């Protein structure tokens, strides 16, 4: 690998890092990077009421439904933050050889062996995402069925 090719790779990596930084800055400025679904604050970070304290509709069934959806929304928010902090950079830079491992004997095997724990963590993350989506769909289905039950038998 000659010097020009090596310099071109370094420049491409720098461009990717700049794009990642600009995406994170744009998201944080627009509120997408740190979404807060239900959070009240009086300026003091220690005094933040829980969702259970905020939801008081005088109807226990409605309170439980809202609490379930708030908890699901918080779980989705945590998954979004985990994906951004743990997996975006690794997936975008997959296949890049920053340490010139490919030039050595067994370099590809070393790269893959270093990447396997990341892939395992990604697999567990995707499985958790499937669980959360399944839970969202089950809650929406239960809410839809509740509407039909209430039409037949009002409270």
pLDDT in tens, 47-78: 445 666 667 777 777 778 888 888 899 999 99
pTM: 0.59
> Is the pLDDT reported for residue 101 higher than 70?
no
Q: Is residue 44 part of a domain?
A: no
Q: Could you tell me if 106 and 143 lie in one domain?
A: yes
Euclidean distance between CA atoms 79 and 137, whole angstroms: 17
Domain that includes residue 107, residue range: 49-152
Q: Are 98 and 133 in contact (CB under 8 A)?
A: no
Q: How far apart are CA 44 and CA 55, in angstroms?
A: 21
What's the structural domain count of the chain?
2
The pLDDT tens digits for 14-54 are: 877 777 677 667 656 555 444 444 444 444 444 445 666 66
């Amino acid at each position: 690998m000659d010097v020009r090719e090596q310099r071109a790779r370094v420049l491409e990596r720098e461009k990717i890092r700049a794009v990642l930084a600009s995406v994170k800055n744009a998201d944080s400025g627009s509120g997408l990077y740190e979404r807060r679904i239900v959070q009240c604050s009086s300026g003091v970070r220690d005094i933040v009421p829980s969702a259970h304290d905020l939801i008081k509709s005088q109807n226990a069934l409605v309170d439980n439904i809202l609490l379930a959806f708030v908890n699901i929304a918080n779980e989705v928010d945590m998954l979004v933050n985990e994906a951004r902090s743990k997996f975006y950079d690794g997936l975008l830079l997959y296949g890049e050889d920053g340490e010139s491992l490919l030039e050595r004997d067994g370099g590809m095997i070393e790269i893959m062996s270093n990447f396997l724990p990341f892939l395992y963590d990604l697999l567990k993350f995707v499985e958790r995402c499937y669980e959360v989506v399944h839970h969202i769909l089950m809650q929406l289905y239960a809410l839809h069925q509740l509407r039909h039950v209430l039409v037949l038998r009002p409270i």
